[in-house]
Amino acid sequence: MRIAIPVAEGRLCPHFGHCQEFALIDVDEKTKSVTAQRRETPPPHEPGVLPRWLAGEGANVIIAGGMGARAQGLFAQSGIKVVVGAPAEPPEDVVKAYLAGTLQTGGNLCDH
């Protein structure tokens, strides 16, 4: 499984479309461990671009603070699970909590 997390200043960016880069973290679902990770600079943000780009990067899950309804729909069409309301923590910590089933999520931080 590959988890994508929008990152700004080393932490999960509250709005995925405004991030500086994406952490792409590969995990072993059986052992719940990180097997690889890399950072990629996304293409310029325009409606519909990031879901296509992340699908092309092999992402299965995106964890974000906030995301608009249209983007969530586009991710779903690409077969990418969306988790919103995640805290602005380092991406590795977010993934570990997600894998452990302890990720505390709140409301979607985006209303468009």
pTM: 0.91
Each residue's pLDDT tens digit, 56-112? 999 999 999 988 888 899 999 989 999 999 999 999 999 999 999 999 888 776 654
Q: What confidence score (pLDDT) does residue 101 get?
A: 93
Checking if the pLDDT of 7 tops 70, the result is yes
Query: Which domains does the chain carry?
Result: 2-100 (3.30.420.130)
Checking if the pLDDT of 35 tops 80, the result is yes
In whole angstroms, how large is the CA radius of gyration of the chain? Answer: 13
Task: Report the phi/psi class of residue 42: left, alpha or beta, with left for phi > 0 and alpha for psi in -120 to 50.
Answer: beta
- The burial of 49, by beta-carbon neighbours within 10 Å (0-12 exposed, 13-18 middle, 19 or more buried), is given as middle
Q: What confidence score (pLDDT) does residue 76 get?
A: 92
